[in-house]
Every structure is written in C-alpha cells, then in structure tokens.
Amino acid sequence: MEKGSEKPAIQMVIITGLSGAGKSQAIRALEDLGFFCVDNLPPNLLPKFGELIVHSKGKIAKIALVIDIRGGEFFDSLSDGLHQLGAQGIQCEILFLEASDEALIRRYKESRRRHPLSGDARIFDSIKLERQMLADLRGRADKVIDTSDLSAQQLKNQVFELFGKDARHSQLRITIISFGYKYGTPRDADLLMDVRFLPNPFYEPTLRHLTGNDEPVQEYVLSSPTTKVFMRKYYSLLRFLLPHYTKEGKSHLVVGIGCTGGKHRSVTLANRLAAALADEDYAITVKHRDIDKDRGGGEGT
C-alpha cells in the first residue's frame, strides 16, 4: 500500500441463529442493500474468504454471510475463523435471529420442511437442542432480532434500519419497545422495565379503550407523582448507562417497557422516553408491539 493511502473500509455481517427464524429473508434484505452475500458458508472457510476480500482492494467492501448449524463442525471452526478474520483486519458484526418455540414449530408445520437436527427426533426436541448449541453464540451477538411476531416485510424493514446505507454505524441505535407482560417479554430486549406499579388507565371507563398514543391517557399516566419520580430516575439511569454501552462497542440497544397488556402505561412511557432521548446523540426507534391486541377489553393494561 502506497504511503498516505487508506485501507478500504470493510463491513462484514455474519447472520446466524435458529433454523426457521428468518435468516434467508435477512440475507435477501442485505442483498437489496448492496451487500455481497453468501448463504451457508462452512465456518472453516472464513479465513480463506477473508483473504479474498482483502485482496479485492475495496471492490468487495460490504459482505453478508449466513453461517449456521448446516455448516457441520460449527462452534470451534467459527470461533477460530472469527479470530483469524480479526487478525486480517476484518471486523465482523454478528446478527442473531431467534423466535419462540411456538413460532418455529408453526413455521415448520406450514412449510413441511425438516429441521436440520431432526433425524428421528420431534421438532420441539430439535429446536431445544439447537437453542442450547447456539446459546454461547447468541451471547456474542452484536444484534439480536426476535422474529416471532414479524412478517417477512417487517423483518426486512428491521434489517434496513440496522444496516441501511443511511445508518450511522458510529452512533448507538436504540429501539424502545412497549409490550404487555401477558403476551410475554421481547426476547431481544437488552433492558427490561416493568411499569405495572403505575396508576392504570384501564380502570377508568373513559380511558379503557384508548391507548398511550392518546392525549387523555398520557395526561392520566404522566400526571401521577409516582410516574414523575420514576421517569426522572429511569432517564438518569439510562443517561449513565448509554455512554458505557457505546464505549464497549455496542451498536444497538433494545429497551423494553412493559405493563400488563402493552396498551396504556408502557406505550405512554415509551413515547415519553424516546422524546427525552431525542435530544441526545442517538438514533431512536419506537415500537408498540401489543398496542392493537385485546381491543375488546380484557385484563387491565
């Protein structure tokens, strides 16, 4: 390399996770974003692939690879491969896709495909085994997406948000999700906050069928002295934590805020928290996972 020249920046994303969780849709989304994509790359070929990328001298700068249990001897060779890529100066982001057992079983029944680990085992047992095999890798992931309740288009949109050409990768991206505990916690959440201790609009007849996007509900929740103290303390905690996550190299943080049904309190506070953080140097996305569920009433939210 000539003096004064710069090494071309290489962006590599490794897509992995549970079989049936949407890895094929994710890599197609990255292909639409201009990534050079390879599906089912054997992990022991990672170092050789890295050499080809480096020798391309910038002609191939955005790469996405799907590596999963179909690659055989998965863990040892993948770990070694990632280490050798680092030695070549190529840093990777790991995108891990997962889904609930129920969602995966439903998808396998609908597609009538066999699980890669199935053999003579039941689908549920194969999913459980794969989840155990991938537990350490999930812990190493830079980004985790739970696709249980996502359509193919919604998954594509999330991939676009994370890796789109307009995304500022030096900036911490924060997704704030409101949810209802009676529908389960978001599997991809890094931080969870239970706000069921706050005054509940569900028990006010005029507010029950509204949501936290409606001003009357917001006024009810936010006017509580308990809410005011909580928001001040929680915002202070996040302002302390976020720079440390950034310092440790985390690029995407998922904050879950839950009430009973995910319709009133959690929606209100997710919106208010996003507004408070908007003045900071973060890219904020707000999602209300369960806001349209249980429109007929039901348990308090």
In the predicted structure, residue 6 carries a pLDDT above the cut 70: no
Name the band, by pLDDT with cuts 50, 70 and 90, for residue 5: very low
Between 34 and 200, the higher pLDDT residue:
200
22 annotated as ligand-binding: yes
Task: Give the model's confidence band at 75: pLDDT under 50 very low, under 70 low, under 90 confident, else very high.
Answer: low
Say which DSSP state 254 is in. E
Please tell me whether 184 is known to bind a ligand. no
How would residue 235 be classed by pLDDT, with cut points 50, 70 and 90? very high
**Band of residue 171 on the pLDDT scale cut at 50, 70, 90:** low
Burial of residue 44 (CB within 10 Å: 0-12, 13-18, 19+) is middle
Claim: this prediction has a pTM higher than 0.75: no
* Residue 189 · residue 177 · CB < 8 Å: yes
| Residue 73 confidence (pLDDT) above 50 | yes
CB 12 within 8 A of CB 137: no
Q: Is 101 annotated as a binding residue?
A: no
Instruction: Answer yes or no: is 297 a known binding residue.
Output: no
In this predicted structure, the answer to whether residue 227 has a pLDDT above a threshold of 60 is yes
Token pair listed for 130 = 């794969």
- Is 69 within any annotated ligand binding site? yes
Separate counts of helices (H) and strands (E) for the chain? 10, 9
Q: What is the pLDDT of residue 71?
A: 60
Residue 250 pLDDT class (50, 70, 90 cuts): confident
Determine which helix (DSSP H) or strand (DSSP E) holds 255, and give its type and residue range: strand 252-259
Contact of 95 with 26, CB cutoff 8 Å: yes
Higher-scoring residue by pLDDT: 135, 168: 135
Rounded CA gap, 251 and 113, in Å?
A: 35
Locate all alpha helices (DSSP H) within 134-214, ordered by sequence: 135-140, 152-163
State the pLDDT at residue 220: 97
The CA radius of gyration of the chain, in Å to the nearest whole number, is 22
According to the annotation, is 249 in a ligand binding site?
no
Distance (Å, whole) CA 98 – CA 278: 29
Sheet with 143-146: strands ordered across: 36-38, 62-66, 11-17, 92-98, 143-146
Contact between 97 and 29 (Cβ < 8 Å): no
77-98 pLDDT, tens digit each? 777 888 888 888 788 889 999 9
Q: Over the stretch 19-42, which tens digit does the pLDDT of each residue have? A: 999 999 999 999 988 899 999 888
Instruction: For residue 178, give the amino acid letter.
Output: S
pLDDT band at 76 (very low <50, low <70, confident <90, very high): low
Task: Write out pLDDT tens, residues 118-138.
Answer: 766 688 888 998 898 888 889
Say whether 50 counts as a known binding-site residue.
no
Q: According to the annotation, is 119 in a ligand binding site?
A: no
Domain with CATH 3.40.50.300 in the chain: 11-164
Residue 286 bridge partners (DSSP): 176
Confirm whether residue 23 is marked as ligand binding: yes
Residue 177 annotated in ligand binding: no
Pick the CATH number of 11-164 from 3.30.70.260, 3.30.300.30, 3.40.50.200, 3.40.50.300: 3.40.50.300
